[in-house]
Structure 1
C-alpha cells in the first residue's frame, strides 16, 4: 500500500473514532474518574475507569476537543479494556514513544490496532498533547488507584 493510501486510511480511522466514539459516557460511582485538560488548545477529558483484580474491566470517557484528542480517547478505551493495569501502562508508554518519534518494535505496534492511525501526529509537535491527553489521564488514574 502506498504512503498516500495508508495516510488516507489512517485519516479515515481517526475520523471514524471522532464521529462515532467508542465508550463515550460515564460509569457508576464506584469507578475512578480523572479530569484532565490541555490548556494549550482547550481539549478536556473526563476518563472513567473501573479496575477490578488488577484489570481494567471498563473504561469510558467524556469531553470536548479536537478530532485527535477525542479519537485517541476512543481508541485508548477500546484498547485497554480487559488488559491488566501493567499492560495498559505499557501500551501508554509505547504510545508515548510513538508520539516522540522513537522506534517501536513492529510486532508490538500491531498490538495497538486502530491506535496505529495516530502515528502521523508525531510530525506535528503541537498536536502531540492532544493525542496523549487520554493516555495521561489513564496513567494518573491507575497511579492513584495503587
Structure 2
C-alpha cells in the first residue's frame, strides 16, 4: 500500500467525519432515497436544478451508514455541482471507485455506489423514465 492510498484513505475519513453538503434542501427539484440493506447504509439526495432544468446547481444529502457510503455521498455531492443530468446518467461505478481512490471489496463497492445510484434513479424518476419508491444495492 503506497503513500497515495493513505492519502485517499485520509480523504475518505475526512469526508465521513466532516461531510460536505449535508442536510436537507428545501424546494429540491429531485429528492430520492436509497439503501444498502446488507450494510445498513441509507442516503437521501436533494438536487436543485438551474433554470435550464438540466444543470445541477446544488446537491445535498442526508444519511447514515459506513464510512465508505457516507464519504462517497459527500464527495459525489461536490462532484455533481455544475454537471448536467445527462452527464450524471453516464457515470458508472468505475467513476465512483476512481473518485474514492482505494481498492474495495465487492461488498464495499455496493456501499460506494449507493449515492450514485440514488442520484441516477432520482434523475430517471424526475425525467419520467422510472417509477421507484426507493433504490437498493442488493
**3-state SS of paired residue (1:17):** helix
Structure 2 residue aligned with 1:103: none
Supply the distance in 2 between the matched residues of 1:74 and 1:5 (Cα, whole angstroms).
23
Once superposed, what is the RMSD of the aligned Cα atoms?
1.7
State the alpha-carbon separation in 2 of the partners of residues 75 and 145 from structure 1: 22
C-alpha change, 1:89 and 1:67, in structure 2 (3 Å) is: same
TM-score with structure 1 setting the length: 0.79
Provide, for residues 87-141 of structure 1, a one-character-per-residue CA deviation record: whole Å limited to 9, x for no partner: 2223x22xx13578xxxxxxxx6xxxxx242x412xx111111000000000011
1:99/1:128 contact within 8 Å kept: no
Instruction: Give the TM-score, by structure 2 length.
Output: 0.83
For structure 2, which runs of at least 5 residues remain unmatched after alignment? 128-138
Between the two proteins, the alignment pairs up a number of residues equal to 125
2:110 aligned partner? 129
Q: 1:142 aligns with which of 123, 127, 131?
A: 123
Equivalent residue, structure 1, for 2:81: 81
CA distance in 1, matches of 2:100, 2:28: 32
Q: Which secondary structure does the structure 1 equivalent of 2:2 belong to?
A: helix
Structure 1 unmatched runs, 5+: 101-108, 110-114
Whether 1:14 aligns to 2:4 is no
Q: Which has the higher helix share?
A: 1
Q: Following the alignment from structure 1 to structure 2, what is the Cα–Cα distance between the partners of residues 99 and 79?
A: 10
Q: Distance in 2 between matches of 1:19 and 1:132?
A: 19
